[in-house]
Structures are given as structure tokens and as C-alpha cells.
Amino acid sequence: MTDTGGIAPAVESILATARQRGGGDERVSVDPRPLPAAIQRAEAAGRVPIIAEIKPTSPTTDGERRDDPVELAEQMVDGGATALSVLTEPEHFGGSPETLRAVREAVDVPVLRKDFILREDQLDTVEADLILLIARFVDDLDELVTAARERGFQVLVETHTEAEVETALDAGAEIIGVNNRDLARLDVDLSTFESVAPSGSEDVTLIAESGISTQGDVERMRAAGADALLVGSAIMDGDVAANTRRLTTTETEQ
Ligand SMILES: O=P(O)(O)OC[C@@H](O)[C@@H](O)c1c[nH]c2ccccc12
């Protein structure tokens, strides 16, 4: 069992329910919309590649946003989002597989399934273009990366430390996220991406995750080498299209 010692009680609770959750009965087979191509298109159009996240609530958010997720998704795409991330975790994030299915049907951009997947059968809950695997929580990353790819998913491996980045690279990850949020204390520090993101790996798509809210934050993550940025709360809070547009139109050096 992967060591999950020292993590926040809210995360312990998320993992306990994730272990109980069943998967799909039938193996899914996905024809994915490629994320790297979507990132290139955004760059070519002069937009910052932003993955906008539909996250109705979270252990670190007050209240719950109950707007129609499909409308939110369309507003994010209107605001220039390169891809979307949809929470499917029901108990702590207000998500559902049905939400993801409806969103993916309504938009053309790649859609990431955000959940705490621990076992192979949990890959089969719903189709998505990308699937999140969290290095810290997955016992055998190689095995789950392979199982996900066999189904057609692109895999985003989430890391928080240099050791986890190594594990992700060893597992052959081509898309690596660095979560600025520490799952032990649930606090956010943007210097995590700056210190942990591997430099000079041209073949890897690097994503800065969490805690990005201002154009200054966007500039900072881009300067540190982020190919794309995953933003939830700062987009979900208020006018979703305007929030997305503000971030995608940030002037950056990169
Ligand atoms: O709302 P923020 O700070 O912009 O963060 C978005 C995203 O990175 C965060 O929701 C997240 C990162 N890794 C996760 C794993 C599961 C659930 C959620 C997450």
C-alpha cells in the first residue's frame, strides 16, 4: 500500500470513499481528443493554454455552485479554455460521471476526468479524453498508466515532489501535472511548480495545477515552464467566461 501517512483528514476521507467506490462493468474504449494539439492551437492563436475546471465544491471551498455544468463548460470554452477538467468525485467535490458525459458531449475541447482513481476497474466508470492519476496515491503507477492507455485515455500524472516526478517519468508519463497544493496540509504554494517541474524535457507536457488566480500567477507559472495551467476556484467564482478570458489573454513572455 502506498504510504498516505501525514495527510489532511479531509484527504483521508476522500481516499477512504475512493477505495469503496466501484468501477464500470464494461471496459471503456476511448477515441481521445489530443491535449498537446489543443495546446498548440491555443499558442498559435495567442492564447494562454488554460484547462478550466468544473468543481462545484471542494474541502477547501465554502458552499457549492449549483449552476448547470454544461452551461459553465460552454462559458469556459467561450472564454478561450483549451481543455476542461470535470470533477467526477461525488462525495467531497459535488461531481458525477454524468456531468462529465454531458459536458464532453456539449464541447469539442479535450475533457479531463478529475477523480481519485486507485484501481483499474475505476477507469471504466466513464469515457474521457484524459484521466488523472495521482502519483502519491496509486500503488503501481506503471500498471495503471498502461491500463489507462490500453483504453485509449491520455494520462495526466499528478505530482507534488521531485521524487514523484521521477516516478511519473519512469512510468512513461507524457503529461505531468505539478500540484501546487500540498495534500498533507491542503495549503497552496506556487513555488512548488517552480522547484519541482522538470526542466528541459521537451517531450513532456507540463501542467501547473492549483492556486492560480491572477494574471501575475499565470505569468509566473509560464515563466517557470508550464505548457498549460489548470485552474478551478478562480474560474468557478463569479463570471466564468470573463474569469477564463482574463487568464487566457494574459500577456506572457513564453
Ligand atoms: O481550484 P484551484 O486551486 O485552481 O485548483 C484546481 C485543481 O488543480 C485542483 O482542483 C486539484 C488538483 N489536483 C486535484 C485532485 C483531485 C481533485 C482536485 C484537484
Place of cell 492549483: 210
Class of domain 9-248: alpha beta
In whole angstroms, what is the distance from residue 194 CA to residue 111 CA? 26
Q: How confident is the model at residue 1 (pLDDT cuts 50, 70, 90)?
A: very low
Distance 209 CA to ligand 1 centre (A): 6
**From the alpha carbon of 213, which atom of ligand 1 is closest?**
4
Structural domain boundaries in the chain = 9-248
Q: Is 53 among the catalytic positions?
A: yes
Q: Is 114 a catalytic residue?
A: yes
Task: Label residue 254 by pLDDT band (50, 70, 90).
Answer: low
Exposed e or buried b for every residue in 26-53, given b needs 16+ CB within 10 A? Answer: eebebebbebeebbeebeeeebbbbbbb
Contacts of 88 (CB under 8 A, 6+ apart): 95, 96, 97, 99, 100, 113, 114, 115, 125, 126
| Interstrand relation of 205-209 and 175-179 (parallel, antiparallel or unpaired) | parallel
Q: Is 16 exposed, middle or buried (0-12, 13-18, 19+ CB in 10 A)?
A: exposed
Check pLDDT > 90 for residue 199: no
Active site residue 96: no
Q: Is the pLDDT of residue 200 over 90?
A: no
What's the gap in Å between 233 CA and the centre of ligand 1?
Answer: 8
* 133: alpha, beta or left? (left if phi > 0; alpha if psi -120 to 50): beta
pTM for the whole thing? Answer: 0.96
Residues with CB under 6 A from ligand 1: 53, 55, 114, 158, 179, 209-212, 230-234
Q: How far apart are CA 70 and CA 245, in angstroms?
A: 18
Looking at this predicted complex, what is its ipTM?
0.98
Q: Is the pLDDT of residue 2 over 80?
A: no
